[in-house]
Amino acid sequence: MSQNGNSFALAYGDKMVGRAMETDQASINYQKGNRFSAALIDFGGNLFLGAVPQTLMGLGVVIPYFTVSVQGWIGGIVSVDSEHKSRFKNFKSTFYYFFVLLLQYIPYSLAIGAGIKCGIDFYNNNKKMNSLLIWKYRIPKTSLIDLGLVYILVVPLFFIASCFEFISTWNV
């Protein structure tokens, strides 16, 4: 939408980016030249405000599909800069945009997928339960172990993504 000049998408993007530039601590630190602080704040936000809640929403199995569609839409909106020019104008800008998306897509996919897997295992493990007492329902231990192993990958991948996004000289 933003690549085609859709006024709704561009206005939404301007509002969202403007708000981020004023209130998002990662953006504020980046503007001040504190690139590593910006990367750490972005890392924490991606992990604790993004991936962990979406992993938990994965217990509901279908919920993350809606939140991911919103994330994708926002990713498309920011494919233009503040002057509404495409980030695909040259190789460096295009590479940076797609590589940051890929670096974030992988850990988000792992975290959300692990949550959905736990949700499916939870359902399969408890589908014969007849109790109204929620604490009687159980997630299989193997699912929780798998979730922990996935997060062993997710944490450093988010850190790498945030470092590339904020510290890389390719950030244009």
Domains of the chain by residue range:
7-167
- pLDDT, mean of residues 65-84: 85
Residue 61 pLDDT level (bands cut at 50, 70, 90) = confident
Whole-model pTM? 0.86
Q: Does the CA dihedral 61-62-66-72 come out positive or negative?
A: positive
- The predicted structure's pLDDT at residue 28: 92
- The predicted structure's pLDDT at residue 89: 87
Quick check: 163 pLDDT over 80? Answer: yes
